[in-house]
Structures are given as C-alpha cells and as structure tokens.
Amino acid sequence: AQKITQTQPGMFVQEKEAVTLDCTYDTSDPSYGLFWYKQPSSGEMIFLIYQGSYDQQNATEGRYSLNFQKARKSANLVISASQLGDSAMYFCAMRGSGNTGKLIFGQGTTLQVKP
C-alpha cells in the first residue's frame, strides 16, 4: 500500500532562514508523483511544487525546492529565506497508483516563522 509519512508535527524557523520539512513515502509503483501543499489558517490548500519519479532534476519553484532522494524514498521540502507569511500547515502528498490523479496525503507539519 502507498503511504506518506511526515514525522515533524511542528517546526519553528527564524525569519529569513531556510527550513526543511521532511517527507518519506512508500510505494511499489515505478511511476509516481510527489506534491507539496500549503494550508494557511484560512483553510485553503495551495499547490507549491511537484516532482515526478522520473524527473532527473529536483523541482524548484521560487523559494521552494524539493530535495528528492529516490533511493531513500524521501521528498523533503526546502523553503529558503522564510517569511512570516510562510507560517502554515504543510502537506506532502503522493499521486496514487493507476491511471488516476488521486492524492494520498501525509499528516502535515505545522511551520511557525518567528520574527
């Protein structure tokens, strides 16, 4: 069965510093996709970044980068130069098996950015 694990329930980071949010996954499918979403206190789910299992390079989107280590089955999110607005819940998700885009989510990590 496919599974996503986020072991950090809560994290603190100082403003302007970088932070890494951990995500490990388990799947037997050779083809899969990994996503990160941000959920601020207002509740919406904001798509941040995507990494495909066959992508040769780590995905980057502005201040977000995904540290993809296939052999270790990890897909950590790195946020550079943290801002106060980065305070939110962050979810790692994996696209399920088969010809479907359904997502399996981890339990989330709450990030608080300190001024």
Min dist. Cβ of residue 101 to other proteins (A): 4
Contact present, 63 and 81 (Cβ < 8 Å): yes
62 lies in the binding site for other proteins (CB under 8 A): no
What x-and-dash track marks residues 17-56 binding other proteins by CB under 8 A?
----------------x-x-x-----xxxxx--x-x----
Buried b (16+ CB within 10 A) or exposed e, 47-73: ebbebebeeeeebeeeebbbbbeeeee
Closest CA to 95 of 83, 87, 85, 105: 105
Distance CA 115, CA 83 (A): 8
68 lies in the binding site for other proteins (CB under 8 A): no
Q: Which of 23, 76, 108, 111 binds other proteins (CB under 8 A)?
A: 108
Q: Which two tokens stand for residue 34?
A: 């990994």
Contact present, 26 and 32 (Cβ < 8 Å): no
Min dist. Cβ of residue 17 to other proteins (A): 28
91 lies in the binding site for other proteins (CB under 8 A): yes
Min dist. Cβ of residue 16 to other proteins (A): 28
Sites of contact with other proteins (CB under 8 A): 33, 35, 37, 43-47, 50, 52, 91, 93, 95-96, 98-105, 107-108
